[in-house]
């Protein structure tokens, strides 16, 4: 078992640190937390974000804008949007992106659950926020196609230069997308 | 112009250094002494990949973890340094010490055209060889092409995989729709770039081929598998067939390039010598196109120069004038008509070491 991003040296530091600085109850708390992750954390039954309840805090929060759903690939993308604080609607976590060559088809993602949600509640807008990778784009276009005969407004987040970005350092693809997605000011 | 070359743990070389002549370099040595590896090194340094292998593994010296290639290039007074490190895990490329995030930002800055015995297969071999020729040479002229090509290949793989996962009766599939549209989007860019390239190449060949050959009605024609705008529709029409085969039957991955004398396909009537001339003319046309855009590319002649008769050697070098730096490999000097060369530098290679360097002219 290996954590991503932890190489040999860091792993050594972790091991030595716990040996030198952990007290007896630290070990207990550590293993307890680890077990709780396994036993109590699960996907929210509505949006798929991880939670220790049946429905996550965001889905239960009635003060949030119930008319919008933002679709992301992974739970950690929800954390990023929440840190930004600009978005006050709901989420839907797909659990990955479409990639037949990796064995991921529509049935492997939470797409059926998404359609179900849209059928059961009158959401007005679905914002597709999958990555600007080939697979992210395929996934967004796929969802858009499934919904093309419905009343739901399907939008895609804008692409382009990052905040503070320098036009002269941007690559051709980013610039092309930024031009495509330009808007009137 | 390449003024300094280093190859470390590359092919048979442990630590190789070379100071090339600005015009002509003759690399002389017996078979399997390491001549071609020097040219392969220059080519790899320039394009990030070898013309001999698909993968980098064989380029790294046996028992070593990585190979390092370094070149100092002077153009217009300012020296530039290129470095490429190949490892089994991947490659790292830097220009003037700045690491390049993507290989497509690196490849094509230092441009190279190689003339090798393998060129004959562009004329004689299958469509895949001809597409390979188009892809390699267009990549040097059009920076965006590399990215479009790799996206196209990725999407093709995804679509083929999806075709295999579905039953032949599953003709209605939204994912196939989407993959087909994305594929056609990048396919269109490839078709457009290939058509433009072949058109420019044709114009050059009308001039170059007659200078090398008696045949005066030689021509090439791009043969796209689909029309630029019709790919998306064709993918839908042939979906049932594609589902049965489990692969995509139309698109730029099925393109070809035709070579003709008048209306007759070259392959059916040309002699070995005529095929060699065509291969030579194609590469010369590429050199011209590259030289037109910026400074002339480096020209590598791998074991092909001594195969030419005196007249053709002269004509070839005549076409390459104007500050072109040339690297020629040969087993000995006897097949090379030295009077045609002007000034040149001879490197004698034996058992992966340079035994001697002599300047002439």
Which ipTM was obtained for this model? 0.81
Q: Over range B162-186, report the average pLDDT.
A: 95
Q: Over range B46-60, report the average pLDDT.
A: 90
Among B134, B350, B353, B156, residue whose Cα is nearest residue B251: B156
Q: How far apart are the first and last CA of chain B?
A: 19
Residue by residue, DSSP assigns B153-210 as HHHHHHHHHHHHHS-TT----HHHHHHHHHHHHHHHHHHHHHHHHHHHHHHHHHHHHH
Give which of B105, B106, B153, B174 to mutate to test A binding, by max A Cβ within 10 Å: B174
Please report which confidence band the pLDDT of residue B285 belongs to, taking 50, 70 and 90 as the band edges. very high
Please report which confidence band the pLDDT of residue A40 belongs to, taking 50, 70 and 90 as the band edges. very high
Whole-angstrom Cα distance, residue B32 to residue A171? 42
According to the model, what pLDDT value does residue A182 have? Answer: 87
Q: Note the Cα B204 to chain centre separation in Å.
A: 18
Q: Over range B218-242, report the average pLDDT.
A: 94
Partner-chain residue, chosen from A134, A145, A172, that has the shortest CB–CB distance to B151 = A134
Q: What is the mean pLDDT of chain A?
A: 92
The CB-based long-range contact list for A34-38 (8 Å cut-off, 24+ gap) reads: none
Share of chain B above pLDDT 90, in %: 73
Q: Residue B109 pLDDT > 80, yes or no? A: yes
Whole-angstrom Cα distance, residue B36 to residue B301? 9
Q: Over range A132-139, report the average pLDDT.
A: 92
- Dihedral sign, Cα of residue B302, residue B308, residue B312, residue B314: positive
According to the model, what pLDDT value does residue A2 have? Answer: 83
Angle formed at CA B148 by CA A104 and CA B86, multiple of 5 degrees = 85
According to the model, what pLDDT value does residue A132 have? Answer: 87
Any idea which of B251-255, B277-281, B336-340 has the lowest mean pLDDT? B336-340
Q: Over range A107-111, report the average pLDDT.
A: 96
Q: Residue B10 pLDDT > 70, yes or no? A: yes
The CA–CA distances, whole Å, from A38 to A24, A31, A41, A45, A50 equal 22, 11, 6, 17, 12
Whole-angstrom Cα distance, residue A135 to residue B155? 9
Number of Cβ atoms within 10 Å of the Cβ of B343 = 11
Please report which confidence band the pLDDT of residue B27 belongs to, taking 50, 70 and 90 as the band edges. very high
According to the model, what pLDDT value does residue B58 have? Answer: 92
Whole-angstrom Cα distance, residue B301 to residue B308? 11
Q: What is the mean pLDDT of chain B?
A: 92
According to the model, what pLDDT value does residue B342 have? Answer: 78
Among A102, A109, A114, residue whose Cα is nearest residue A146: A114
Structure tokens at B128: 């895949």
Q: Over range B268-292, report the average pLDDT.
A: 93
According to the model, what pLDDT value does residue B186 have? Answer: 95
Share of chain B above pLDDT 70, in %: 99
User: Across the interface, do B182 and A134 touch by the CB < 8 Å criterion?
Assistant: yes
According to the model, what pLDDT value does residue A183 have? Answer: 86
pTM for the model stands at 0.87
Q: Over range B76-86, report the average pLDDT.
A: 90
Whole-angstrom Cα distance, residue B146 to residue A39? 48
The CB-based long-range contact list for A175-178 (8 Å cut-off, 24+ gap) reads: A177/A132
Q: Residue B215 pLDDT > 90, yes or no? A: no
B103 or B270, greater pLDDT: B270
**Strands (DSSP E) found in chain A:** 42-43, 50-51, 68-72, 90-93, 125-128, 153-156
Whole-angstrom Cα distance, residue B197 to residue B205? 12
Structure tokens at A77: 């993308």
Residues of B with CB under 8 A from a CB of A: 102, 105, 143-144, 147, 151, 154-155, 157-159, 161-162, 165, 174-175, 177-179, 181-182
Any idea which of A14-18, A177-181, B190-194, B210-214 has the lowest mean pLDDT? A177-181
Q: Rounded to 5 degrees, what are φ and ψ at A62?
A: -75, -10
B295 or A92, greater pLDDT: A92
* Nearest residue of chain A to residue B174 (CA atoms): A142
Q: Residue B77 pLDDT > 80, yes or no? A: no
Q: Note the Cα A128 to chain centre separation in Å.
A: 11
Under DSSP, the state recorded for A104 is B
B340 or B170, greater pLDDT: B170
User: Across the interface, do B162 and A105 touch by the CB < 8 Å criterion?
Assistant: yes
Q: Residue A56 pLDDT > 90, yes or no? A: yes
**Cβ neighbours of residue B238 closer than 8 Å, sequence gap 6 or more:** B249, B250
Q: Residue B136 pLDDT > 80, yes or no? A: yes
When mean pLDDT is compared over B3-12, B43-52, B139-148, B211-220, the highest value belongs to B3-12
Chain A to chain B Cβ contacts (< 8 Å): 46
According to the model, what pLDDT value does residue B170 have? Answer: 92
Q: Over range A74-103, report the average pLDDT.
A: 96
* Nearest residue of chain B to residue A106 (CA atoms): B175
According to the model, what pLDDT value does residue B61 have? Answer: 94
Please report which confidence band the pLDDT of residue B337 belongs to, taking 50, 70 and 90 as the band edges. confident
Contact present, B313 and B337 (Cβ < 8 Å): yes
Put simply, whether A112 touches B (Cβ < 8 Å) is no
Q: Over range B198-213, report the average pLDDT.
A: 94
Under DSSP, the state recorded for B336 is S
């Amino acid at each position: 078992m290996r954590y991503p991003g932890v190489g040999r040296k860091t792993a050594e530091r972790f091991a030595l640190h716990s040996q030198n600085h952990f007290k007896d109850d630290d070990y207990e708390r550590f293993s307890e937390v680890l077990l709780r992750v396994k036993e109590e954390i699960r996907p929210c039954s509505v949006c798929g974000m991880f939670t220790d309840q049946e429905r996550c805090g965001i889905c239960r929060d009635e003060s949030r804008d119930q008319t919008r759903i933002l679709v992301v690939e992974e739970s950690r993308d929800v954390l990023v949007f929440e840190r930004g604080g600009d978005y006050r609607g709901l989420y839907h976590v797909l659990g990955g992106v479409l990639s037949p060559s990796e064995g991921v088809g529509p049935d492997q993602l939470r797409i059926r659950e998404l359609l179900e949600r849209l059928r059961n509640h009158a959401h007005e807008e679905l914002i597709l926020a999958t990555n600007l990778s080939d697979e992210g784009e395929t996934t967004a276009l796929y969802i858009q196609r499934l919904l093309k005969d419905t009343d739901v407004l399907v939008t895609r987040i804008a692409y382009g230069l990052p905040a503070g970005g320098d036009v002269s350092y941007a690559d051709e693809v980013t610039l092309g997308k930024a031009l495509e997605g330009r808007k009137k000011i | 112009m390449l003024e300094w070359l280093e190859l470390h743990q590359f092919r048979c070389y442990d630590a190789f250094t070379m100071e090339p002549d600005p015009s002509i370099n003759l690399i002389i040595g017996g078979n399997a002494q390491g001549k071609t590896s020097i040219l392969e090194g220059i080519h790899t340094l320039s394009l990030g990949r070898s013309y001999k292998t698909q993968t980098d593994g064989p380029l790294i010296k046996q028992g070593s973890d990585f190979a390092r290639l370094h070149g100092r290039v002077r153009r217009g007074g300012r020296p530039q340094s290129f470095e490429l490190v190949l490892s089994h895990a991947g490659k790292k490329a830097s220009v003037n010490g700045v690491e390049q995030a993507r290989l497509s930002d690196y490849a094509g800055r230092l441009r190279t055209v190689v003339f090798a015995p393998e060129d004959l297969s562009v004329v004689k071999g299958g469509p895949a060889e001809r597409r390979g020729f188009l892809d390699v040479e267009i990549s040097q002229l059009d920076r965006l092409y590399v990215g479009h090509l790799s996206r196209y290949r990725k999407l093709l793989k995804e679509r083929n995989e999806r075709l295999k996962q579905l039953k032949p009766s599953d003709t209605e599939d939204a994912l196939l729709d989407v993959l087909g549209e994305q594929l056609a989007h990048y396919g269109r860019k490839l078709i457009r770039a290939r058509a433009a390239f072949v058109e420019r190449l044709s114009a050059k060949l009308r001039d170059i081929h007659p200078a090398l050959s008696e045949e005066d009605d030689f021509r090439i024609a791009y043969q796209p598998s689909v029309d630029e705008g019709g790919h998306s529709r064709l993918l839908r029409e042939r979906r049932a067939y594609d589902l049965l085969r489990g692969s995509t039957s139309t698109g730029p991955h099925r393109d070809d390039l035709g070579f003709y004398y008048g209306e007759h396909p070259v392959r059916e009537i040309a002699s070995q010598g005529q095929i060699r001339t065509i291969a030579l003319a194609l590469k010369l046309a590429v050199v011209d196109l590259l030289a037109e855009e910026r400074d002339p590319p480096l020209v590598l002649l791998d074991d092909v120069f001594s195969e030419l008769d005196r007249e053709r050697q002269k004509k070839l070098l005549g076409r390459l004038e104007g500050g072109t730096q040339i690297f020629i490999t040969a087993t000995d000097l006897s097949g090379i008509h030295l009077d045609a060369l002007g000034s040149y530098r001879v490197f004698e290679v034996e058992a992966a070491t340079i035994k001697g360097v002599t300047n002439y002219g």
